[in-house]
Amino acid sequence: MGLLVDGVWRDEWYDTKSSDGEFIRTDAQFRSWISADASTGFQAESGRYHLFVSLACPWAHRTLIFRALKGLEDVISVSIVKPEMLSQGWELQGGDLPDGMNELTSMHQVYTSVQPNYSGRVTVPVLYDKKTRQIVSNESSEIIRMLNMAFNDFASDDLDYYPESKRQIIDELNADVYENINNGVYKTGFATTQAAYEKNFEALFEALGRMEVRLSESRYLAGDTLTEAGWRLFTTLVRFDAVYVGHFKCNLKRIEDYPNLSNYLRELYQIMGIAETVDFEHIKTHYYYSHDMINPTRIVPMGPDLALERAHDRDRF
């Protein structure tokens, strides 16, 4: 995971020495919005927007899930980067690229094609406007809300995953899940001191315990309605036993060891269209092969067999 400095690519990892071994994630910089009526400067249109994603990345996975849930596959095009993230960062695989990008080979070139002097980390997902050749957003939490509401005129499903009546509880859940679980696995796995590792390890499993209790009391995190909070948790759960337990040393328990979390994971995985957004070959290759500071042999494990197609018990509620 490199970065751009005044438009120049640098293959540099995160500096944890200056933060007592703590991994600190930087904020996304492109934060514009798409709206149905163009009031935000970008109007929802079919065929206008393009997503750059990694099948390995849990943040990018959110956007693929909402694209599938809303039936926007023919409305928003997608490019998938290579699973290996090496000296050039995320690399493009060609295929369905926007006009003018056929010669580009990496995501950092996508960033500098829009902002030549960009400084910062080069991340996915990226929501790109093919009409104005601008990056609308590289903040996944905001992209999924655009997909949730702005494109309803083109969507096959107008279900709202951020309903007004549940926004307070969704926001509270998101804050807990993001800090301690979504980002918590990274803060645990990328820690470079024992103290930082132990602190984030404990916070991670305390938060998983809280989610397990919530799911013992209701079918979904926010009650009887599946909301964006549930999907934001899902992208970490589905990677947990395959990569975070071993690669990131998050090994107190597997998700399989939590009765409610494991059944919840299987229910969401089995929703129509979701399994197609999950690619364990990309997931395992990315983490185990790309992070040679953690796994210097770059051996990618063959297991585990998660059997996510097994029956779940969530319909008991």
Helix (H) / strand (E) element for 247: namely none
Do the Cβ atoms of 222 and 45 come closer than 8 Å? no
Return the CATH number at 135.
Answer: 3.40.30.10
Residue 14 CA to residue 36 CA, distance in Å, equals 38
Question: What is the pTM (predicted TM-score) of this model?
Answer: 0.97
As a dihedral over the C-alpha atoms of residue 11, residue 134, residue 74, residue 138, rounded to 10 degrees, the angle is 50
Do the Cβ atoms of 150 and 35 come closer than 8 Å? yes
Structure tokens at 34: 């798409």
Same domain, 110 and 142: yes
Rounded average pLDDT over 128-155: 98
Per the domain annotation, does 235 fall within a domain? yes
Give 149's contacts (C-beta < 8 A, 6+ positions apart). 36, 160, 162
Per the domain annotation, does 294 fall within a domain? no
Do the Cβ atoms of 31 and 139 come closer than 8 Å? yes
Do the Cβ atoms of 201 and 250 come closer than 8 Å? yes
What domain count does the chain have? 2
Per the domain annotation, does 315 fall within a domain? no
Question: Backbone phi, then psi, for 285, in 5-degree steps?
Answer: -60, -45
Integer-rounded Cα Rg, in Å, for the chain is: 19
Residue 241 CA to residue 165 CA, distance in Å, equals 34
Average pLDDT score over the chain = 97
pLDDT of residue 55: 98
Amino acid at 161: Y
pLDDT of residue 152: 97
Rounded average pLDDT over 110-135: 98
Per the domain annotation, does 299 fall within a domain? no
Per the domain annotation, does 300 fall within a domain? no
Rounded average pLDDT over 110-125: 98
Given 149, 176, 197, which residue is the final one in a domain? 149
Count of Cβ atoms closer than 10 Å to residue 240 Cβ: 24
Name the strands in the sheet holding 49-53, side by side, starting at the edge strand that comes first in the sequence: 77-80, 49-53, 126-129, 134-137
pLDDT of residue 58: 98
Q: Where are the strands (E) in 42-145, listed by range?
A: 42-43, 49-53, 77-80, 120-121, 126-129, 134-137
pLDDT of residue 229: 98
Name the band, by pLDDT with cuts 50, 70 and 90, for residue 190.
very high
Percent pLDDT > 70 in the chain is 100
Amino acid at 252: L
Same domain, 140 and 200: no
pLDDT of residue 120: 97
pLDDT of residue 11: 95
Given 271, 286, 309, which residue is the final one in a domain? 271
Same domain, 228 and 141: no
Same domain, 171 and 244: yes
Structure tokens at 218: 């209701």
DSSP reduced 3-state for 254: coil
Residue 94 confidence (pLDDT) above 80: no
Same domain, 174 and 145: no
Residue 48 confidence (pLDDT) above 80: yes
Pick from 158, 274, 166: nearest CA to 228: 166
Do the Cβ atoms of 67 and 155 come closer than 8 Å? no
Pick from 250, 189, 244: nearest CA to 21: 189
Same domain, 169 and 72: no
Rounded average pLDDT over 217-224: 98
Same domain, 193 and 144: no
Per the domain annotation, does 310 fall within a domain? no
Per the domain annotation, does 293 fall within a domain? no
DSSP reduced 3-state for 58: helix
* pLDDT one-digit tens code per residue, 242-263: 999 999 999 999 999 999 999 9
Rounded average pLDDT over 225-230: 98
Question: Does a cis peptide bond (omega within 30 degrees of 0) precede residue 58?
Answer: no
Given 123, 149, 175, which residue is the final one in a domain? 149
Return the CATH number at 253.
Answer: 1.20.1050.10
Residue 189 confidence (pLDDT) above 80: yes
Q: Which residues are catalytic?
A: 57, 186
Which residues are bridge partners to 4 per DSSP? Answer: 9, 120
Rounded average pLDDT over 75-82: 97
Structure tokens at 71: 């039936």
The domain in which residue 130 lies consists of 3-149
Name the band, by pLDDT with cuts 50, 70 and 90, for residue 17.
confident
CA 189 to chain centroid, in Å, comes to 16
Residue 122 confidence (pLDDT) above 90: yes
Rounded average pLDDT over 98-105: 93
Per the domain annotation, does 137 fall within a domain? yes
Name the band, by pLDDT with cuts 50, 70 and 90, for residue 96.
confident
Same domain, 8 and 128: yes
Same domain, 93 and 122: yes
Do the Cβ atoms of 148 and 161 come closer than 8 Å? yes
Same domain, 145 and 193: no
Same domain, 8 and 130: yes
Same domain, 35 and 104: yes
pLDDT of residue 95: 77
DSSP letter, residue 149: H
